[in-house]
Amino acid sequence: MAKTVITFGTFDVFHIGHLRILERARALGDRLVVGVSSDHLNFKKKQKYPVFSEHDRRSIVSALACVDEVFSEESLEWKGKYISTYNADILVMGDDWAGRFDEFKSLCEVIYLPRTENISTTEILAAVRATSA
Ligand code: C2G
């Protein structure tokens, strides 16, 4: 039977680490559904808005060959609901979230993949600030 993989993220200032985790997530199944966190959720999580708008972040993720469907992640508390709505067989997250979503093992398989080293949105923004200073 076809397997659906679900993953979540902000995907702000989209970079190679984001692409690699989405490609690896897709390779674990037949269909990849991605919850892109809303601007509102980001503000709640980090007390700041992402650089790229929710609309643009969703457009970038939707355009990728490895992504089949995108939705707006409105709350961290609704993971179980999203897993059920999209009939996900596997939840994938980077290992910076290791252990944090183990409660969903009753709903689907939960896999934490290693993050791509030496790249992050925070580091990109710091490098841009340093070169433009
Ligand atoms: N990632 C990665 N390698 C990097 C950077 C990020 O594999 N160098 C992965 C993260 O582990 C995550 C995904 O890319 O699985 C998205 O990362 P972020 O955009 O930083 O997402 P985050 O703010 O952690 O939001 O409900 C969960 C949240 O919405 C996740």
Distance in Å, CA 53 to ligand 1 centroid: 16
Structural domains in the chain (count): 1
pLDDT tens, per residue, the chain with 133 residues: 899 999 999 999 999 999 999 999 999 999 999 999 999 999 998 999 999 999 999 999 999 999 999 999 999 999 999 999 999 999 999 999 999 999 999 999 999 999 999 999 999 999 999 998 7
- DSSP, res 89: S
pLDDT at 1: 87
- CB count within 10 Å of CB 132 equals 6
Half-sphere exposure of 18 (CA within 13 A, CB side): 20
Adjacent-strand bridge partners of 112 = 93
User: How far apart are alpha carbons 73 and 91 in whole angstroms?
Assistant: 14
Distance in Å, CA 10 to ligand 1 centroid: 7
| pTM (2 d.p.) | 0.96
Distance in Å, CA 7 to ligand 1 centroid: 9
CATH number at residue 19: 3.40.50.620
Sheet holding 90-94, edge to edge: 69-73, 31-37, 4-9, 90-94, 109-113
* Closest residue to atom 10 of ligand 1, CA basis: 94
Q: Helix, strand, or coil here: 8? A: strand
Residues 6+ away with beta carbon under 8 Å from 70: 33, 34, 35, 36, 58, 61, 62
pLDDT at 132: 80
Domain that holds residue 34: 4-132
Q: Hey, which of 5, 8, 49, 72 would you mutate to test ligand 1's pocket, going by the most ligand atoms within 8 Å of its Cβ?
A: 8
Place of tokens 């643009």: 56
* Closest residue to atom 4 of ligand 1, CA basis: 17
Tokens of 2: 């076809």
